[in-house]
């Protein structure tokens, strides 16, 4: 797990390719991440599918209650089959763009 801070966003990159262990590490250290927007980069794991992404649902809901954004970066997936409660994009650049839009919406009171 590699953690990088960029402005008001923390990027956490999975380096092991084990999505369940990655989620467990994030949950264990959540108190240090909860006040930031999160980008979870799981492009390293090529076996990721929609079913494995659904395990992030509780974390996404918890982070949304903190009024922060959580975006997963996943390549080669059918984005139409991902639940609406989880935001998934193919690149980190798109994740940053989505977080910027969310920040603007929150500033405007939406």
> Residue for token digits 């989505």?
98
pLDDT score of 57: 95
Domain count, the chain: 1
Q: What residues of the chain score a pLDDT lower than 50?
A: none
**Predicted local distance difference test score (pLDDT) of residue 22:** 94
The CATH number covering residue 6 comes to: 3.30.750.24
Count of positions (residues) in the chain: 110
Q: Which domain holds residue 31?
A: 2-108
Q: Are the CB atoms for 88 and 82 separated by under 8 Å? A: yes
**Residue 45 pLDDT:** 85
Query: Which residues pair with residue 71 across a beta bridge?
Result: 39, 87
What's the Cα-to-Cα distance from 22 to each of 52, 70, 97, 98, 102, rounded to whole Å?
12, 15, 24, 22, 25
């Amino acid at each position: 797990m590699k953690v990088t801070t960029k402005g008001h966003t923390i990027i956490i990159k999975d380096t092991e390719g084990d999505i369940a262990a990655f989620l467990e590490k994030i949950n264990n250290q959540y108190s240090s991440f909860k006040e930031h927007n999160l980008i979870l980069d799981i492009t390293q794991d090529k076996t990721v599918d929609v079913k494995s992404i659904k395990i992030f649902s509780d974390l996404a809901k918890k982070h949304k209650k903190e009024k922060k954004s959580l975006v997963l970066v996943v390549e080669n997936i059918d984005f139409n089959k991902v639940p609406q409660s989880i935001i998934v994009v193919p690149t980190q650049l798109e994740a940053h763009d989505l977080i910027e839009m969310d920040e603007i919406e929150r500033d405007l009171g939406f």
